[in-house]
């Protein structure tokens, strides 16, 4: 018997629960967290200021070589609602990666899909399936599932960029494979658009406030598990996103302002925003973004998965926070 045994004052019921547990069964009527009234378990709204993250990245750059500590020098955003897991939301891995001049992160491939959003610096390239892809500020660089990749910094300055992957989703589906290099010749697969240069994104944002990055067919999301969008808020404006199913991670590219998130599991969050800041937006919370200066926000979300599973819903009114109405169990 490894399952939970439920107790009861009635000796007959108590004995029954013992026999049920011995058979590795659990009664539905003893499960209280199985189906909450609304998405409210797990991840909390959260903000990681770049002023906290950057110095720690620099220290990692001194202390941990790319030959040590698992090849890639990465610090992952760990959502305090997820019990110490290194995940920003239940489906998304969000991290910062740091590469010193002359360093490289060795070739490998894996089933989780990855994206890089470049915050600053230049001279780093990533090789995807043997093709060299430049990484410049504002660029979105894709490493779809099972593509070989390695990163190199041939410049004179260290470089930091944002990594987004679907690791927690792939793990929860028990679909993770990893293979170390050496990287072989180009795979001969049809070339996907690996790089979405900032100049194109910036151009698109002249006529819209939200630019969705699309695959080569001009319609689909860039990867099956992650939607990527760039938002531009004019200085002095504010916008509110209604609560909806699914989670996102936002990264501030340029500008400053603030974010207010209501309806979260442990109360509301309000934070100032500066370039490089990361914000986790869990399922079913309302978010208000305010731009003091023109604010450019990169967003990755699990929306393609939510939509494919037909779980998408949007609230018609502001959700009521669950704080105080339930424990943290």
- Judged by the rule CB under 6 A, the positions of this chain that interact with ligand GTQ are 72, 74, 95, 97, 105, 110, 114, 149, 163, 165
205, with CB counted inside 10 A (0-12, 13-18, 19+), is middle
| Distances 149 to 134, 152, 214 between C-alpha atoms, Å | 13, 10, 21
Which residue's CB is nearer to ligand GTQ, number 98 or number 213?
Answer: 98
3-state DSSP of 192-204: CCCEECHHHHHHH
Least distance in Å: CB of 105 to ligand GTQ? Answer: 6
Compare residues 114 and 252 and give the one whose CB is closer to ligand GTQ: 114
Residue (104 or 248) nearer to ligand GTQ, CB: 104
Q: Which residue is nearest to ligand GTQ (CB)?
A: 163
Smallest distance from ligand GTQ to CB 265, Å: 26
What order do you get walking across the sheet with 114-118 strand by strand? Answer: 74-76, 93-99, 159-165, 114-118, 140-143, 195-196
Q: In whole angstroms, how close is the CB of 106 to ligand GTQ at the nearest point?
A: 9
Tokens describing residue 261: 């998130």
Q: Shortest Cβ distance from residue 69 to ligand GTQ (Å)?
A: 12
- Residue 71 Cβ vs ligand GTQ, minimum distance, rounded to whole Å: 8
Q: Which is nearer to ligand GTQ, 105 or 245 (CB)?
A: 105
Q: Closest approach of Cβ 75 to ligand GTQ, in Å? A: 9
Contacts of 173 (CB under 8 A, 6+ apart): none
Q: How far is the CB of 70 from ligand GTQ (least distance, A)?
A: 9
In this structure, how many other beta carbons lie within 10 angstroms of the beta carbon of residue 14?
13
Q: Are 119 and 160 a contacting pair, CB within 8 Å?
A: yes
**Which residue's CB is nearer to ligand GTQ, number 78 or number 262?**
78
Task: Tally DSSP H helices, then E strands, for the chain.
Answer: 5, 21
Number of Cβ within 10 Å of residue 203's Cβ equals 11
In sequence order, the 6+-apart residues with CB closer than 8 A to the CB of 174 are: none
Dihedrals φ, ψ of 185, to 5°? -60, 160
Closest approach, Cβ 113 to ligand GTQ, in A, equals 10
* Complex with ligand GTQ: residue 112 or 282, whichever CB lies closer: 112
Q: Which is nearer to ligand GTQ, 85 or 202 (CB)?
A: 85
What are the DSSP calls for 286-328, one per residue?
EEEEEESS-EEEEEEESHHHHHHTT---B-SSPPPP-TTTS--
Q: Which is nearer to ligand GTQ, 105 or 223 (CB)?
A: 105
């Amino acid at each position: 018997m490894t399952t939970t045994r439920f107790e009861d004052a009635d000796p007959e019921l108590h004995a029954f629960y013992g026999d049920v547990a011995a058979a590795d069964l659990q009664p539905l009527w003893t499960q209280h967290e199985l189906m909450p009234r609304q998405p409210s378990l797990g991840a909390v709204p959260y903000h990681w200021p770049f002023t906290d993250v950057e110095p720690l990245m620099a220290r990692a750059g001194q202390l941990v070589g790319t030959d040590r500590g698992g090849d890639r020098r990465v610090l992952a955003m760990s959502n305090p609602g997820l019990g110490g897991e290194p995940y920003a939301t239940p489906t998304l891995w969000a991290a910062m990666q740091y590469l010193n001049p002359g360093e490289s992160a060795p070739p490998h491939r894996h089933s989780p899909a990855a994206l890089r959003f470049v915050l600053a610096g230049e001279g780093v390239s990533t090789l995807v399936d043997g093709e060299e892809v430049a990484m410049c500020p504002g660029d979105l660089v894709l490493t779809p599932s099972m593509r070989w990749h390695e990163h190199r910094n041939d410049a004179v300055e260290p470089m930091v960029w944002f990594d987004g992957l679907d690791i927690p989703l792939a793990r929860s589906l028990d679909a993770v494979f990893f293979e170390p290099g050496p990287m072989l010749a180009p795979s001969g697969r049809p070339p996907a658009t690996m790089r979405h240069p900032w100049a194109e994104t910036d151009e698109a944002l002249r006529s819209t406030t939200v630019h969705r990055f699309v695959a080569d067919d001009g319609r689909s999301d860039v990867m099956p598990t992650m939607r990527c969008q760039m938002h531009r808020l004019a200085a002095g404006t504010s916008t509110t996103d209604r609560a909806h199913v699914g989670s996102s991670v936002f990264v501030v590219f340029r500008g400053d302002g603030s974010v207010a998130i209501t309806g979260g599991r442990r109360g509301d969050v309000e934070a100032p925003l500066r370039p490089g800041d990361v914000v986790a937006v869990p399922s079913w919370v309302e978010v208000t973004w305010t731009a003091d200066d023109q604010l450019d926000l990169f967003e990755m979300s699990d929306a393609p998965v939510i939509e494919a599973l037909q779980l998408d819903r949007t609230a018609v009114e502001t959700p009521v926070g669950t704080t105080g109405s339930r424990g943290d169990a």
